[in-house]
Structure 1
Amino acid sequence: MVEKLVGTKAMRLALITILLLVLAGCAPKVRLFPDGTDPLEEQVLQGEGSEKVLLVNVRGLISDAPDQGLLGRRPSLLQEVVSRLRLAEKDAEVRAVILKINSPGGGVTASDVLHHEIERFRRESGKPVVALLMDVAASGGYYVALPADRIVAHPTSVTGSVGAVFFQPRVTGLMEMAGVRVEVAKSGRNKDMGSPFRESTKEEQDIAQTLINEMGTRFQTLVRQARDLTPEQMDTVATARVFTGTQALDLGLVDRVGYLESAFALARELAELPEDAKLVAYRDQRYANDTAYNASARLVRPALLDAGLLGTALGSGLPRECGVYYLWLPGNE
């Protein structure tokens, strides 16, 4: 009985000590899940040569906002991709990069910044880039593929959706049912444009359409410059519809329909590398029997069920923030 009491007191003392250390900020950090703070390490996926091709996953909603989920916090997709390009730029043995894209797009600015960073990497490093389109590489997902030297799509890829969209969530009907009103004092008649608490005016609708037209035109211009399409092809692309990999090839949006080995062979060809060149990835954690199909360099988020889209109001299917997106989101008109 005495031993039991002593053991209980020791346990309580240990718990109190740990609590005091935590409050004092002195406790060692214990992480049950990776949060992106560990340094990136190279992992060989295949090959035995000295020269390397880097595989970079571009997966999920394109954003510069960190992911905050139930299992911890991760850097944004923009940060994850750019950090890997920076390391590849410094490594003389990395001779080419494959971007494995599985994304329905995302924010206009985040997509444009990533496009700029990929373009800058190619220009300053002189290393070729091959984009490999997976399940979905639509809208912003295709936007970030445009700077690549070559684009390879799977036969079952969904791509295209070349255009912009402006989401404005509305809760006016719900507020009326609940008997709730919002009063706004503003310095100009368009100051609260996009407010979810009222219907848009005709002037606001025209302003939003002008803004969307400008963003959409920018996207189309980049496609025209990168892909050298005919006017007839551009007319089809400008409808902002999606295409299969084979349809995209016929339209000139991609260079080849194939699989990972096709993209790897193309990267080796562009960089003039031997067949035994390594395919490598930068991971922040180690995986046994790792392969190029491992997308776990960041928290896995299916392309059509993105964590950023799960934060929507009552399953409306719309992004939780009002704004302009290069985003393909099926089911919304």
Structure 2
Amino acid sequence: MKKSMLDNLKAVVSNTLTDDIKMIDIDELHESADNFFVVEHIEQFAQTILGQGGVKDNLIVRPLKTGGYEIISGHRRRAAVQYLLDKGENIARVLPCLVQNYADEDDKMLDLILMNVSARQISDQELWKCYETLDKILKEKKDKGEYYGRLRDDIANTLGVSASQVGKMQNVDKNAIEPVKAAVASGELSISTANEIAKLDKEEQSKITDLSKVQPKDIKKKVVEKPVVTSSNDDSSDYDDDEEVLDTSIDDEPELQAKLREAVKRTNDETAVATNSNDDKYTTIAMKGYLLLAAEEASFSVEQINALLGGIMKALKNYDKAEAENKFLSR
């Protein structure tokens, strides 16, 4: 299988770490204005560095036209060493750095994200910024013909999260009103809660006056079923043809997953006792089973599962096999 562009970028970054390393004075190392990763717990981190006798892992930097170097990865290491120097500790002020040159800002941002997410546990606030940045860069590269992968899968692999989690962020990006997105970006709102809010229509979303007090369970009670929008019926979508823009993850619905498993088990049991002389029953049971499996694979929400099951019952009652086949073939 051909590696994705992001896999190749990771390999490039890994290989360059074996190149010559330059020792650079801390005063020549400047924070990146584009860095959105939180620099925290410096005092504790400084003690770790002091205990190991200095910085052992290379910082990633790039030369600045104005002099000095911009830090791509290593903001916490620089801050920890500066803290120790200010405290009068005996610590080297020169740090090992891999100097990188980038063709453009997008490649720099890809490295900034790749190197930082692999070295730490990131918050929802940081994860959202990573998603926004990667989504923008990869869409632009796809438009230029420089990238041909699946956005959801490649973003998930790069950030070390599930495709379902990326789907939640896609849902927020596509369907949430701006105050909700801003609350995620500021760390006021979790991605999971924002995902639930984004399932409401925009008028309902605007009625929420205090986002900091919102609980997902309260939002779920208000969710009104709305259709899943895909790029096949929305020409303005930038997502792959088989990617759902509206995420309906059931990661946080263990009860639903259990019900689905039980339903599929029941379907399999019924199918096992079906005879060849009862082809219609066999086909109906198998169809229901496949639809339930499809719903599970697509991470449908509780509301969508209920709507799907209700729709199945109505369709089976009101239409015959020929009408169903014609409906499929006419798509």
Q: Which bin holds the TM-score, normalised by the shorter protein?
A: under 0.3
User: Per residue, is there more helix in 1 or in 2?
Assistant: 2
User: Per residue, is there more strand in 1 or in 2?
Assistant: 1
Higher relative contact order (CA 8 A, sep 6+): 1
TM score, norm. by length of structure 1:
0.23
